[in-house]
Amino acid sequence: MADIFKSEAGRKEVLARYLGALDSWPVKSERRRVATRQGETFVLVCGPEAAPPLLLLHGALGNAVMWKFDAPLWAGYFRLYIVDVIGEPGLSAPSRPPLDIEVYADWLEDVLKGLGLERVSIVGESLGGWLALAHATRRPGAVERLALIVPGGLSSQLKFLYTVMPLLLLGPWGARKAGELIYGKARPAGSEAAREFFEFIALIARHCRPRMENLPKFTDAALKRLTMPVFAILGGKDVLVDSVTARRRLESLLPAVEIDYRPDSPHVIRNRAAPVLAFLTRSL
């Protein structure tokens, strides 16, 4: 069992705050648990039952709360299946197998099978983008549309090791500086929900251990198997993803890809709900 949390007290504090956030979810929802070969996986489901299915995969050190500001808009058009990735501070199993594309693709197929979903659209962010690519490159016929937000697996992650990780070893000040690199210095003002969100992110960073492995890169041959429509949002000031290389690979290997490149954006992309929805609903 992976040691995700630094202490039992920290685990209890994070999960208590998480459950509180789920209790105040902005859209009527239900909670499901799916058996997989890596242990039980938690899935938050919301949106009309008859709507097309949309799978959401969050990034590292995250959980379903990462989609709290996007879900109200997307749930008007889709049945959302918001997955807590294994080995992260959510309600899924703490299993953290080595970051192997096939291992995590197998896990995600178990999740989809448990939910009874044969073909879905997927939105994946960062680590979640890597997971989405792992599934889509292996089973392209099972993915309707693929939206990637600062996805891993397209370029090197060395910047993380040299810029962010050293800061995380410097206590609260370092954690705050690392947060500024990832989220940007300016934060949305005025909203109580936004304040609570950033407080929760800080709580997770304080009590949880990040993954230390680099995400394996997808080969050119694997990426060329993406036959579905693909949309990507990339940030020019991303300290975790080499967005220049990611953009170059996508454009050279997927001639029809749509890219929203934001030169001044950090790793966490704001104002992404509307452009992602425009892409996802184009065929509806």
The DSSP line for 87-136 is: TSSSSS--------HHHHHHHHHHHHHHHT-SSEEEEEETHHHHHHHHHH
Q: What pLDDT, on the 0 to 100 scale, is given for residue 191?
A: 73
Q: What pLDDT, on the 0 to 100 scale, is given for residue 167?
A: 54
Does residue 178 carry a pLDDT above 80?
Answer: no
Higher pLDDT, 213 or 264: 264
Q: Which of 29-33, 137-141, 236-240 has the lowest mean pLDDT?
A: 236-240
pLDDT digits over 47-92, tens only? 999 999 999 999 999 999 999 999 999 999 999 999 999 999 999 9
The mean pLDDT of 105-120, rounded to a whole number, is 98
Q: Which of 136-145, 190-199, 215-224, 274-283 has the lowest mean pLDDT?
A: 190-199
Closest to 46 in 3D by CA, of 36, 56, 58: 56
Which residue's structure tokens are 């005025």?
190
Tell whether the torsion through CA atoms of 160, 263, 185 and 10 is positive or negative: negative
Q: Using pLDDT thresholds of 50, 70 and 90, give the confidence band for residue 232.
A: very high
Q: Using pLDDT thresholds of 50, 70 and 90, give the confidence band for residue 203.
A: very high
Strands (DSSP E) found in the chain: 29-34, 41-46, 53-57, 79-83, 120-125, 143-149, 230-235, 258-262
Counting residues of the chain whose pLDDT is more than 70, the rounded percentage is: 87
Cβ neighbours, 10 Å, residue 242: 18
Query: What number does CATH give the domain 8-280?
Result: 3.40.50.1820
Higher pLDDT, 128 or 206: 128
The mean pLDDT of 217-240, rounded to a whole number, is 96
